[in-house]
Amino acid sequence: MSKNVNRTLAFFRLLSAPARRALEHNGITSLEQLASYSEKEILKFHGMGPASMPKLRTALKEKGLSFKNE
């Protein structure tokens, strides 16, 4: 596995189980995929709560990514 894949997997392990399942259920398995959504769209996912958003923002920022604008 590449380092980028390991970092992505490590990031997803930091999320709560419901938040992780919400992303997986919606086909989001990488930070690049996550960046194609707005925060508002992510918060609509069943199981995703506001407490997960800082972790998501930080992980995206560390890779030079961000949520798309509304």
Q: Which domains does the chain have, with CATH numbers?
A: 3-62 (1.10.150)
Q: Any idea how long the chain is? A: 70
Residue 6 has pLDDT above 70, yes or no: no
What is the structure's pLDDT at 11? 75
Distance CA 27, CA 58 (A): 20
- The answer to whether the beta carbons of residues 67 and 38 sit under 8 Å apart is yes
Q: How many Cβ atoms sit within 10 Å of the Cβ of residue 11?
A: 20
pTM summary value? 0.83
Considering the chain, what is the average pLDDT of its residues?
Answer: 88
- The amino acid occupying position 63 is K
| pLDDT value at residue 12 | 82
